[in-house]
Every structure is written in C-alpha cells, then in structure tokens.
Amino acid sequence: MFKLLIIDDERNIRIGIQSMISREFPNQFSFFLASNGVEAWEILEIEAIDIILTDIKMPAMDGIQLVHAIQSLEKKPEVVMISGYDDFEYAREAIKYRVKDYLLKPINRKELHQTLERVMKEVQAKKENEKEKELIQANQLNYLFIHPDITQDEIEKVINNLQIDDYPEEYFVGVIKFQQTKTEKEHLPYVKEILAQYFQESFKQMISFYDKDNNIVLVTPTWLVFESILPHFETTTVTIGVSRKMNQRYQIKEGYEQARFALKHSFLFASKKMISFSEIHDRKQNDPHLLPLEQIQRIANMIGTNRDQEIRKQLREILNFEEILMNGIEYMEKLNQAINEVLLDSAFHRLGKESIEIMKHYQHVGDMYNFENFYEYYYALEALVLQLHEYNKQLKSIYSEQRHIEEALQYIDENYHKDINLAVVSNYVSLNYSYFSHMFKEHTGQNFVDYLKKVRIEKAKLLLKKTDLMIFEISLKVGYKNPKQFTRVFRELEGISPKEYRENSLIH
C-alpha cells in the first residue's frame, strides 16, 4: 500500500481528490490530508510518504517552499504539483526540484489517474531497487561476520565495494533480538522509521540489516539510538547487545562479535533489555570452575531409581546461578553441552525413541538459547530430567513384570504335574500373592486355575497321541490324581473325552 499525502487549502478539493483516487485505486493508498505546507511538513516528519499531490498557492508555506524543504529528507517522496494558474514560472520551479508532473485545476480525472499509475510504478521500482541494494549489502556484511579467517584488507575491500558513502568515522554495532515472534521480517522497516524520525541528521550514517539469525544489526554513530528503540517494543520481548565504540571501518566484524557476545548475556540477566560489551568484559571474573562431569554422571546413573529428591538436589547444585554468573556465559554454554552429552544423550540412548513427546522436549531443552533466560531453561531441564526418570522407572517396572511372568510360566511348564497353586508360584517368583494374581491375569488373559488346566490338558493331548499309556496313567502324569476329574476337565476344554480324542487322532 502506498502512502499518499494530499495538500490543498480548500477542504472540498482535498476530499474530492481523495474520493476520485479511492474509486479508481481501491485499497491501494493510505491517505494523509493537509491544508498547507506547514501541516504537510509535520506529517512528513512522522510518516514515510511515497507520493505527494500538492497545490502551489497556499498560506503559511506554499507548494514550492514545501518541495524545497523536502530536498533535505533522506527519502524523498515523489511530488505531483496542482495549480489553478497556468503559469510557466511555477512549472519551471517545479521542474527544478524534479517534480513528476504538473496538473491544472479543475483536475481531469483521467489525467490524474494516468499520472498516478505512472508515479506508482516509479515508486514501486525505486522500492524494489532499494530492497535489492539492501539485500546485497546485508549478504556482503553477513559474509564478513561468518567468515572465520577474513583479513582486515578483505573487510576494507568488501566495504568499499558496497559504496557506503556516509560510513561513520566512529560507531557502535548493536544486535537486536526479538523473542517469540513469527514476524521478524516486519521489525526492520519499523526500526528504520523510528531512526529516521528521531535521528534525522545522523540517520544517513546508520546501516541496518538482518543477520543470519534474523536479528537486526545496527551500525550507528550514536549510542542513544538503542535507548530510543526499546520503548517502541514494550509489548514485544526485545534485547539488545552493543559493542564498544569502534573507530576503523574494518572493525565492524569485531564490533558484531562483541555485540553478539553481550547479547548472549541476556540469558543470565533476564531483567536487562540492553547489555553492552564493556560492562560484561569489565566484570571481574574468577577463572572458570571445572565442569562438574562426575556430578552430572551421578544424576545419569540415578535415572530410573527411587532417588527423586536426590536428583533434584544434584541438579540444583550443578545449576547454581551464582556460581554460573561468576563463571560467565561461556561456562554456561559448556555446562549445557555437558548436560546434553553426559545426562540427556545417555538417557535417550538407553530409552530409544519410544516416547515421541519426551523426544520433542529433549530436542527443545537441548539448546539453552531456546529459552529467554536461565530460570526458564532450569525449570524446563528439571521437568525433562524428572520426566525421563519416571519413564525409566515405568520401563523398569514393565521389564521386571515381564521377567517375573516368564519365570512363572516356565515354572508352571516344568511343574504342571505337581500339586501347585497360585500361592506356590507367587512365592517362587517372590511377589505378593494379590499383586501376582492381578499381574498374571493381565499378562495371560486368564486366571491361574484356568491357565493351569489348559497347560495340563495340552500335555495330556500329546501323551494321548504319542503314547499307549492308559487314561488313568496320563491323568497322573499331568497332575490329576482322580481320573474322573481329569476326564471332566478334558471334556470341558475339548468337548470330547480323552478316549474319544485318542480314537479320533488314530483316524487322522
């Protein structure tokens, strides 16, 4: 959408022009109206206007004076003059300031539409050229930032090729990070509008673009810009890291790295919206402690045991905020990596990928910079470790139950011919009678008595087919001292007597 400013000292003419344009170009313009050059200039100081339609003869400041003033703006709008006077002198003044067209009153609708169509195309082309130029500039500067071995001379060469005419002699580099937003690409134009509005004199010396992480990089001759930006993003979580003052163009890479390093510390200083490299670098810090690898390993060993409170205690000791603050952000990064490798990775290696939900949490918690600050990371890590802990306990319980059931079934298979019952088997596998009864039925789908009957009858069927033993002998071999009871149970399960089963097996 184009921003169009209509200026005329007669209200009806302003409204009439707006109506004509709205009907022909619906939803293509955002309109601003002014009665003279003074009102128009107030609007121009706030809004980045694309096109101006202005009368010439107006009180306070006329159209020619306004066009003259516009030449001081960094981004100049395209101007179309309107006048009731067919006077060559006015046209000549307008041409001097590269006015796009000169329309006479009463305005011809068709002529106005044609003029606007042409100017709109020129404005759009100019915007696209500016975007292309800015994109090339951003890509080249990002190349400097990510290239590990680039020399001072190579940096100077890249900057010279970019033809940044107003590169400041002394400057700060700032990196602006927006948390939890899906519209990063909308922030840079807004930041530029703020800078153009509040820092008109130095704005042309500022360089702003997105880095590879969609943070805004701002090169500026004045520190005040960072303090001016923050109040405009009160509803958005924004943090800014700022370098020391640089005085050579080739130091832009160093400045960027300083700003990035300062920005990282927002993880530790949750309440600070702006952090300078100087205050971080000048902090008195002791030599970093050795990483508590043995302590991390102890937590890994306790996963799945009954040591919930001990796990929490060990985590609190490892992630002691005061100690981390004393050792700095680089220590915290190494600690994060050690926790991933020694604790989380080993836990998942044992688990596999059975739990998709836990896996999602693991991938998120693995990078501490997925969180706005230390405390958010700490609570998320603790929750994940305890989740892993409970999941491991459940798996151990399942594996333990499976092992007990397998032992019980093997015992039954080997001792079915004896006088066994549920109490005998539960004692054998060392489990509580009631618990074993419930677990047995859950795993086999049958109660103990029915399962034992089935095993004994299956063994009896084999003996009936493959031996010449008498029925009462088979009855004794499968655990039935009373042949009548054996026959009754056999008929109950198979529908026929043992004798009939043997006769049928001989036929088949």
Q: Are strands 238-242 and 172-178 parallel, antiparallel or unpaired?
A: antiparallel
Long-range contacts of 365-372 (CB under 8 A, 24+ apart): 366/340, 367/336, 368/267, 368/332, 368/333, 368/336, 369/264, 369/267, 371/267, 372/179, 372/180, 372/237, 372/266, 372/267, 372/270
In this prediction, residue 393 has a pLDDT band, given cuts at 50, 70 and 90, of confident
Per-residue pLDDT, averaged over 342-363, amounts to 70
What is the pTM assigned to this prediction? 0.63
User: Which residue has 């509580």 as its token pair?
Assistant: 432
Query: Is the alpha carbon torsion for 230, 236, 242, 247 positive or negative?
Result: negative
pLDDT for 22 beyond 90: yes
Q: Give the residue with greater pLDDT, 265 vs 363.
A: 265
For residues 258 and 145, give the distance between their C-alpha atoms in angstroms, rounded to a whole number: 11
Determine whether 444 is exposed, middle or buried from the number of CB atoms within 10 Å of its CB (0-12, 13-18, 19+): middle
Q: Give the residue with greater pLDDT, 85 vs 181.
A: 85
Query: Chain-wide mean pLDDT for the chain?
Result: 87
Q: In this structure, are residues 6 and 14 in contact, taking their beta carbons and an 8 Å threshold?
A: yes
For residues 174 and 256, give the distance between their C-alpha atoms in angstroms, rounded to a whole number: 7
Residue 306 neighbours by CB distance under 10 Å: 9
Query: Is the alpha carbon torsion for 133, 139, 142, 143 positive or negative?
Result: negative
* Percent residues over pLDDT 70 in the chain: 91
The counts of H helices and E strands in the chain are 24, 10
- H-only helix segments in 4-151: 11-24, 37-46, 63-70, 88-96, 109-146
pLDDT in tens, 68-114: 888 888 788 999 988 876 655 666 666 677 788 888 888 899 999 99
Helix (H), strand (E) at residue 101: strand 101-104
